[in-house]
Amino acid sequence: MRDKLEIEITTYELHTSKPEEGRAYLELCRKIRTTPKAPGFPFTFITSPSQIKANGGPVESGVYEVECDSMFAEQFNTAGDPGRRLFVWCEHVYNHGSAIKRGYYVSAGLDKLRARQAQRLACGYCGRQYWRDDAPGQWCARAGCLGNEYLKEAEYPLLELLPVYPGDRIRTTPPPAGVLSSIEAAQEKRRESERLREVAAAEKELESAQQNLEAVRWLVARGYSAKNMIQYSHRKGFYFGRNGPVSEALLSHLADGFPFEYRVE
């Protein structure tokens, strides 16, 4: 059980068209930017008051508990039900060029948040996250990731497990030989599975065709046409009445021994 992580959020609303509040806003930005490991710019939402209301209402100043099992570089989810997505620094913009600056930022606990983020590793390809002491190693080991049919060689460096903060993925060093072998094995396992699925699909089609042939022969042998019958491959059995009513005589014959499941529509 990991320790609970709490941060403090401070909100602001400043009308920068007013000289005093304009200076206060610039000073606030300077203060946030010079805080160690703080973002250089706020995450900006172009939104409306109705959208904010729909997303749980405006963020209020106060202490929030962080949900740590899914973390990101500059945003996080709050614990509880319902939780909400918050940012290290965020501003809501209602109109382009608006002089009104409404936002919030992490005013206390950012150092603890960054320390916790440093312990949370993520695969840059599939996004799976691990605690550092629970990680399978330096590289992602998920078969669904290593064997993904869309994984390209140029994307192999994304498989490295790196801390969610700062989240920079500028490395282009290929994985070591052991990881490359695991990728090839996972890719071959996927290809083999695909080949087996092709065989299974062909066998299913053959079985369906054989059943259809047997059903048609059964009808013809009793003097009926198969035009009023259809076989639904995605549902077991045959359906009669597709082109019109089914005669009483055919209904009697069907009940007497039609070799497959059937339904009369």
Q: Does one domain contain both 98 and 14?
A: yes
Q: Please report which confidence band the pLDDT of residue 87 belongs to, taking 50, 70 and 90 as the band edges.
A: very high
Instruction: Give phi and psi for 162, each to the nearest 5.
Output: -125, 155
Pick the closest to residue 89 from 52, 39, 138, 55 (CA basis): 39
pTM of the model: 0.72
Last residue of a domain, one of 160, 175, 190: 175
**Model confidence pLDDT, tens digit, residues 93-114:** 776 667 889 899 999 999 999 9
For the chain, give the mean pLDDT: 90
Domain count of the fold of the chain: 3
Domain of residue 128, residue span: 121-175
Q: Does one domain contain both 12 and 114?
A: yes
pLDDT at residue number 168: 77
User: Is 56 within the bounds of a domain?
Assistant: yes
Q: Does one domain contain both 66 and 102?
A: yes
Q: Does one domain contain both 166 and 259?
A: no
| DSSP codes, 228-247 | TEEE-TTSSSEEE-TTSPPP
First vs last Cα of the chain: how many Å apart? Answer: 59
User: Is 252 within the bounds of a domain?
Assistant: yes
User: Is 19 within the bounds of a domain?
Assistant: yes
User: Is 198 within the bounds of a domain?
Assistant: no
Q: Please report which confidence band the pLDDT of residue 1 belongs to, taking 50, 70 and 90 as the band edges.
A: very low
Neighbours of 165 (CB within 10 A): 19
User: Is 94 within the bounds of a domain?
Assistant: yes
Looking at residue 160, the DSSP 8-state letter turns out to be: B
Q: Please report which confidence band the pLDDT of residue 45 belongs to, taking 50, 70 and 90 as the band edges.
A: confident
